Structure 1
Amino acid sequence: MALRFIGIDPDTDHDHCPAVWIDVEAKPEPHLVVQGWLADEATQAECSKNSPKPDTEAVIRIPARMVSLIREACDAAERAATELR
């Protein structure tokens, strides 16, 4: 696995660190890998109304201040996918 680190929450306390990476070797295309805070049961229940969560998935929260990092990760994943074609 080749994870490319994009960044962590800019306001992190270095103990609880939401972060984002891209897996450039995932098939059939790159994947975003996101670390965040596990959502509480009420949030998970609300999300399940639109998209039931299987045991292999998790609902997480990441702060809005990380939008630029996620945008950067999306752009990097999109570039990597284009390179695979």
Structure 2
Amino acid sequence: MALQFIGIDPNTGEGESPTVWADQERGELVFQGWKAGPELEAECADFKVPGHAKGIPEHEAVIRIPARMVQIVREACDAIERPHLG
């Protein structure tokens, strides 16, 4: 897997580094963010969406990234939509 670095939280400080990458080979966005914490995980696990199993599977995680990273996420979406050249 060859990840393309897209961006990091512009307000990154010591020990804080929400980051976004694009994996064009798999057509996926990859996020590093803050752990959601038990309260938010419980709320997400209890959220009811048609066709979506209740709970959070063991192989998945709920993370947070700051809204100030919206432009970085958009750039990652654009990167995934571009033809893969490598």
Q: Same fold (TM over 0.5)?
A: yes
The residue number in structure 1 matching 2:57 is 54
* Structure 1 residue 49, shift from structure 2 partner: 1.6
Aligned AA (1:79):
R
Structure 1 unaligned residues grouped into runs of 5+: none
Alignment partners' CA distance in 2, 1:52 and 1:71 = 28
Q: Percent identity?
A: 57
Find the aligned partners of 2:81 and 2:41 in 1 and give their Cα distance.
29
Where 2:29 maps in the other structure, the secondary structure is strand
Give the AA of the match of 1:4: Q
Give the one of 21, 24, 32 matched to 1:35.
32
What is the correspondence of 1:64-83 to structure 2 with a 5 Å cutoff?
64-80=67-83
Cα deviation, residue 14, structure 1: 4.5
5+ residue gaps in structure 2? 48-53
TM-score by length of 2: 0.84
RMSD: 1.6
Runs of at least 4 residues of structure 1 off by over 4 A?
A: none
CA distance in 1, matches of 2:80, 2:46: 29
User: What's the TM-score once normalised by structure 1's chain length?
Assistant: 0.85
Q: Which has the higher helix share?
A: 1
Distance 2:77 2:56 in 1: 23
**CA shift for structure 1 position 15:** 2.2
Number of corresponding residues: 79
Partners of 1:14 and 1:69 in 2: CA distance: 20
